[in-house]
Amino acid sequence: MSYKTLLFEVDENIAKIVLNRPEAMNALSTDLATELIEVFQDLATKDNIRAVILTATGRAFSAGGDVKQMSTVLGEDAPAKFRLALDIYHRLILLMRQLPKPIIAAVNGVAAGAGFNLALACDVRIAAEAAKFSQAFIRIGLIPDFGGTFFLPRIVGLAKAMELMMTGELIDAEKAQQLGIVNLVVKGDELNATAGFFAKQAAELPTVAIGRLKKLLDSSFTSSLSEQLELEAEMQMQSSCTADFAEGVRAFVEKRQPKFLGK
C-alpha cells in the first residue's frame, strides 16, 4: 500500500514507518495521523512483524501540529473542529500504546509539541546528536496533547514536566538523555543503523510477553498495588501457556539461547 504522507517498509520481521512531509518539517496534519492510524491498525494484525521503527525524513522528526492547518479553524467553530482533529490524534496514540510489539523512535531532528509527544508514545527513543525537544504548545497559547501530560510527568517527574511544558524550553539530545526522555544518543549517521540493531534485538524477544509488559507498565500508574498484582497474575497465567515460554524453559534446561517465535 502506498501513502501520501509517510513511507512504509518491512525488512524481514521489522516494520519501518517514516514520516515524509519534509517540506513541512513533518508537521502532524490530520492526513498524516490518519495514515499512521491505518499503518498501526494493520501492524496489530500482522503476527510476523515483531518490532517497529518510527523515524522521519529531512531535518526534523516532527515540528508538531500543523499550524497552517490550525489557522483555518480559528473562530467560534474552533472548539468543534479541534475536537474532530484531536479524536484522530488521540486514537493514534491509543493504537500505539495498545500495539503488542515494541516501537522504537529514531529521532533524527527537532521533535516539538505533538512531535515530542509522538516520540514519547513509543517504547524506546534513540536520538541523533542534532535532535532537539520542546513542549512548544505554550508558545501558541495551547496546552499539550497527544498524551504529553500523561507520558512526560511519568518520565521526568511532575515538577520538571511542568517546567518544560510551561516554558516550552528547547533542550538538546544530551539533556533529554539526562532527563530520561531518550534512552540513547548517537551520531546522526549512526541513527538508522542503531535503531535497526535495537529493533533486531527486540524482534528476537518473546513478542507476546512484550505486549503484555506494555500493558502492565501503562496500567501501573493508575492501578492500586492490589490491582496491579492481580493484573500481573492474570497476564502471567496467560504467558505460561505460550510457545515462547515453553521454548524459554527448554533453552534454559538445555543451556542454550532460546529461539522465540513471538507466539
CATH code assigned at 215? 1.10.12
* Residues 156, 34 share a domain: yes
Amino acid 87: pLDDT = 95
Q: Does the residue 91 lie in any domain? A: yes
Q: Cell 515538577 appears where?
A: 159
- Residues 32 and 53 placed together within one structural domain of the fold: yes
For residue 212, the model assigns a pLDDT of 95
Greater confidence, 122 or 221? 122
Q: Quick check: pTM over 0.85?
A: yes
What is the domain count for the chain? 2
Q: Are residues 183 and 232 in the same domain?
A: no
Q: What is the pLDDT of residue 71?
A: 65
Question: Is residue 262 domain-resident?
Answer: no
Q: Write the DSSP string, 189-257.
A: GGHHHHHHHHHHHHHTS-HHHHHHHHHHHHHTTTS-HHHHHHHHHHHHHHHTTSHHHHHHHHHHHTTS-
If pLDDT is split at 50, 70 and 90, which confidence band does 80 have?
confident
Q: What pLDDT score was predicted for residue 29?
A: 93
The CATH number of residue 123's host domain is 3.90.226.10
pLDDT at position 167 is 97
User: Are 144 and 68 found together in one domain?
Assistant: yes
Q: Do residues 15 and 38 share a domain? A: yes
Evaluate whether 43 touches 8 at the Cβ level (below 8 Å).
no
Domain with 183 in it: 6-203
Residues 119 and 136 in one domain: yes
Q: Is residue 89 part of a domain?
A: yes
Q: What is the pLDDT of residues 35-64, one digit of tens each?
A: 999 999 999 999 999 999 999 999 999 998
Residue written as grid cell 515524509: 20
Residues 212 and 198 in one domain: no
Domain match, 170 and 70 both = yes
H-type alpha helices, 16-112: 30-43, 67-70, 78-98
Question: What mean pLDDT is predicted for residues 126-144?
Answer: 96
Give the pLDDT confidence score for residue 221 in this predicted structure: 87
Q: List pLDDT tens digits, range 173-199.
A: 999 999 999 999 999 999 999 999 999
Question: Do residues 91 and 37 make contact, with C-beta atoms less than 8 angstroms apart?
Answer: yes
On whether both 162 and 75 belong to a single domain, the answer is: yes
Mean pLDDT in residue range 228-245: 94
Q: Within this chain, do residues 149 and 66 fall inside the same structural domain, yes or no?
A: yes
> According to the model, what pLDDT value does residue 67 have?
72
Say if residue 158 is in the same domain as residue 219. no
First CA to last CA distance, the chain: 26
Q: Please tell me whether residues 66 and 103 are part of one structural domain.
A: yes
Evaluate whether residue 1 is within a structural domain: no
According to the model, what pLDDT value does residue 237 have? 93
Kind of pairing, strands 6-11 and 14-19?
antiparallel
Across the range 118-136, mean pLDDT stands at 98
Q: Return the SS3 of 120.
A: helix
3-state secondary structure of 1: coil
Identify the pLDDT of residue 70.
66
Mean pLDDT of 12-37: 96
The answer, yes or no, to whether residue 75 has pLDDT greater than 90, is no
What is the rounded distance in angstroms from the CA atom of residue 202 to the CA atom of residue 218? 19
CA proximity to 134, closest of 93, 199, 179? 179
User: What is d(CA 255, CA 250) in angstroms, rounded to the nearest whole number?
Assistant: 8
